[in-house]
Every structure is written in C-alpha cells, then in structure tokens.
Amino acid sequence: MNTSAALDVDLALVGGGGAASLVLAALDRHGVRDLRVAVVDPVHRRGQDRTWAFWDRPGSDLDPLLAASWDQVEVATPDGRRVLDLAPLRYAMLRSGPVYARAAEAERRLGVRRIVAPVDALYDDGGHVTVRVGGGSAVRASWVLDSRPRPPRRPGRTNWLQHFRGWWLESAVPVFDPARAVLMDFRTPQPARGVSFGYVLPVSDRYALVEYTEFGPDLLTDAGYDAALAGYRDLLGLDPTRLTVREVENGVIPMTDGPFEARPSPRVVRLGTAGGATRPSTGFTFSAMHRQAEQVARALAAGRPPMPAPAYPRRHRWMDAVALRALDAGGVGGPDFFGRLFDRNPAERVLRFLDGATTPAEEVALMGTTRLRPMVAATAGDAAARLRDRLDPTRRAATWTVPRPVVGDRADADG
Ligand SMILES: Cc1cc2nc3c(=O)[nH]c(=O)nc-3n(C[C@H](O)[C@H](O)[C@H](O)COP(=O)(O)OP(=O)(O)OC[C@H]3O[C@@H](n4cnc5c(N)ncnc54)[C@H](O)[C@@H]3O)c2cc1C
C-alpha cells in the first residue's frame, strides 16, 4: 500500500462529534502541545445539533459551557410526582454549540489538522494505522480514536431504540419552573411494547426543551412524534396558542445488549456510542464519553496509550441486559420500574448506578427494590438465551442497524 502522501500524526480522531470534541477539549486542558493530531470527519460540527442532559458533580470543566443546571428534578408516574434532591450531584444541560466551539478552540491551540471527508477504512498493521479516505491513504497515525457511528459487533438479545422528538418552546408568559427539571414523566400513554415518557428542561420561566421519548423496537412516523409531543405539551397544561417552537430536535440511540467493540485492533480505540458509551437501559451516553475523554487525555499527557477503562463495568452490562429483557417481555412496566427505583432509593444512588459507579452492595439494594418475580424470570431467560447462543451461534440475526431519525419540517407547536 502506498502511504507516501499520507499525513503522519500521533493521533487521528476518526469522527469529530461528541466524543471527539470532548477528547480535544481534554487534551487542551491537560496542556498537551507536542502531539500531532488530525481529525477526519465529513462534517465539521458547529452550532446546535443536539442537547446533552446528564448528571455530575458541580465544579467540572463543563461548568462554563452549561445552558442550565438543577439541584432538583421531578420524576412523575400515574401514581404521583416526586421531587428529588440530587445533592451532591446536579442535573445539567449542555447545548452542542458551546461544546463544538470549545473543541475548535482546543484544535487551534493543539495545531490540529482537519480533513473534511468520510473515512472508508482503517488498516492497522500493529505499528501504525492507515486511514483511508476516497480510496487513498490520507493519514498514517500511531493511534486512532474511532467514533464513527456503527452497530454492535452482533445484534443483542434485546434490540431497542431510544427515539425522541423535542421542541424548544418559547412562551409569551412565564410557564416553566427554571429551578427544577422534569427528568422523566411517565404519565404519557404507554405504547403496547416499550416505554414512553416526556421531560422538560427549562432554561428560564419562558424557554424550555420539552421532549417526548420512547424506548422500544420501532420508530414512530413524523406525524406520530408530533402528536405524542403535542399530547405531552397538553398534559403539562401548556397553551399552544402562547407557544412558539424555536427549534426541533430528533434522535435515535441504540438500547441493546449487543456488544460494542471498544478495541477492534491493536491501535484503534472506539469511543462514544460506537465504543459502548451508551448505557443500554437508559440511552444516557454523555457522562461516559466525558469520563473516557478525561482518561484518554490523561494517558496521552503521560505518554501512555490512549486506552480508557470500559464505559461500564461488565456486571452493569449484564444487569442492563436483564432489565431490557424484563421490559421487553412486558413483565415489568417502565413507569413501575423507574418509579420504584426512585421511590425506594436515594436519587443520588440511582443516578450513580446509571453511571456504573455503584458498589455491588448498593446494586443488591437497588435490585431488591424492583419487582422480584419478573426480574427473576428475566434473569433466567437471559441465562437460557446465552446458553442457546453458545450452542448455536447462528441463531441470532446477522446484523442490526440503528435507523436514522424521522425528521419532520414542522415549525409550530400545534398538534
Ligand atoms: C439529538 C440527540 C440528543 C442526545 N441527547 C443526549 C443526552 O441528553 N444525554 C446523553 O447522555 N446522550 C444523548 N445523546 C446520545 C449521545 O450522547 C450522542 O449521540 C453523542 O453525540 C454521541 O457521540 P459520538 O461521538 O459517539 O457520536 P456523534 O456525536 O454522532 O459523532 C459521530 C461523528 O462521526 C462522523 N462520521 C460519520 N461517518 C463518518 C466517516 N465515514 N468518517 C469519519 N467520520 C464520520 C459524524 O459526522 C459525526 O460527527 C443524544 C443523541 C442525539 C442524536
């Protein structure tokens, strides 16, 4: 292979979205200056294309970038509404614009070379990785951090999607409570198979992101998302005639126990959703990406290979597989499952659990608060399915891909 024209770098970021932006910012924060870095992505991400919500401890590098944060959140089910104090954590919202701008600033300081093109393939000979673009060798890198979207190595036993539509709503009058976000509101009509909920992320008393989300196997239609979101708006008691939709946000995130390969070859490390940073039972991804970006930067700053710890411990991935199976079988209802978790445990413990940061003893306590019979059935079902797969590896479908979001062109809030 002719690699003479290739750009020689120490690190190539293949994919320059959320995960890569956080890595660039972390490298800059760690004062890394002597590393030759390239970013290859067909899109140079700028401005608002998504909103990240996550929880963390106040006082991180993200503080100056946040659009809002809340010490209290609400979780609602048909049984009632709970106001949860998150201390010492907080729930926070980050718009993509400031994250991409921070990454651009880091890129300038690090002297990053950017190639705006899709990568076709990576060839790892164990010493270097050749990054192929448009049929030619564009970059030769000592290490590649690859965050191009991709499906799991093989489909999971449960393959669900978190799919959603959100409206950034501006109100003519004060209607939102900026002191409190709605984390999950399960009073929405529940789908025949899956879980639905709404949420509200207010940045002021007149401006908020209001979103309708489903966990389940299939997407809705464009009209279906609009109807569901309008229904949630009405459930909140918001008057559509006094609201303007300023922006629309759509997304689809995998929720699967299929394995995402974090280290496909010796010098390629996958990050972001492609590297398993998406928590299968919730779709939350941001905190794991942020954690791994810090680990990668710390390693590179110390002259070590950029290999982060797995996004979640193995036992958490197993617990997620069981939870997904229980939800998919219908033995556990989403509102009941999440309602009981938040009713019977300190909110801070539930959130740490969802980040994969609890101890086994805490996990036993948490599991003890879910409904025993369907969870035992799902655990037995998971064990039996693993055994069947081992005996007949061809049993499961060969591939499973995450569909693109359904994107409409609505410009008003009327449903
Ligand atoms: C609308 C939306 C809202 C979300 N909100 C939340 C949230 O609130 N909280 C949370 O925890 N998670 C959230 N997520 C999930 C997750 O945090 C995001 O998807 C996050 O952006 C994932 O980062 P990533 O780097 O893995 O992928 P992306 O940010 O999607 O980046 C992948 C990059 O790869 C590039 N690429 C594609 N093909 C190629 C190629 N051939 N060669 C080179 N580059 C390529 C793309 O152009 C893109 O820039 C959300 C996701 C979406 C879509």
Query: Residues 173-190: pLDDT tens digits?
Result: 999 999 999 999 999 999
Neighbours of 104 (CB within 10 A): 17
Does the beta carbon of 19 lie inside 6 Å of ligand 1?
Answer: yes
Ordered per-residue pLDDT tens for the chain, 415 residues: 444 589 999 999 999 999 999 999 999 999 999 999 999 999 999 999 999 999 999 999 999 999 999 999 999 999 999 999 999 999 999 999 999 999 999 999 999 999 999 999 999 999 999 999 998 989 999 999 999 999 999 999 999 999 999 999 999 999 999 999 999 999 999 999 999 999 999 999 999 999 999 999 999 999 999 999 999 999 999 999 999 999 999 999 999 999 999 999 999 999 999 999 999 999 999 999 999 999 999 999 999 999 999 999 999 999 999 999 999 999 889 899 999 999 999 999 999 998 888 999 999 999 889 888 888 889 999 999 888 888 887 777 678 899 999 997 544 433 3
Ligand 1, from 273, 281, 351, 401: best to mutate by most atoms within 8 Å of Cβ? Answer: 273
68-70 vs 90-95, strand pairing mode: antiparallel
pLDDT, position 412: 41
**Hunting for tokens 């499973």 — which residue is that?**
400
113-115 vs 136-146, strand pairing mode: unpaired
Instruction: For residue 92, give the nearest of 351, 374, 363, 399 by alpha carbon.
Output: 351
Instruction: Tokens for 14, please give them.
Output: 């293949």
- Closest Cα to atom 53, ligand 1: which residue? 251
pLDDT, position 275: 98
> Global pTM?
0.95
- Closest Cα to atom 30, ligand 1: which residue? 17
Does the beta carbon of 306 lie inside 6 Å of ligand 1?
Answer: no
pLDDT, position 356: 85
pLDDT, position 4: 56
Distant-in-sequence, close-in-space partners of 5: CB < 8 Å, separation ≥ 6: 136, 137
Instruction: Tokens for 116, please give them.
Output: 């705006």
Does the beta carbon of 254 lie inside 6 Å of ligand 1?
Answer: no
Alpha-carbon dihedral sign for residues 133, 138, 141, 147: negative
191 backbone φψ class: left, alpha, beta (φ>0; ψ -120 to 50): beta
Q: 262 and 167 in contact (C-beta within 8 Å)?
A: no
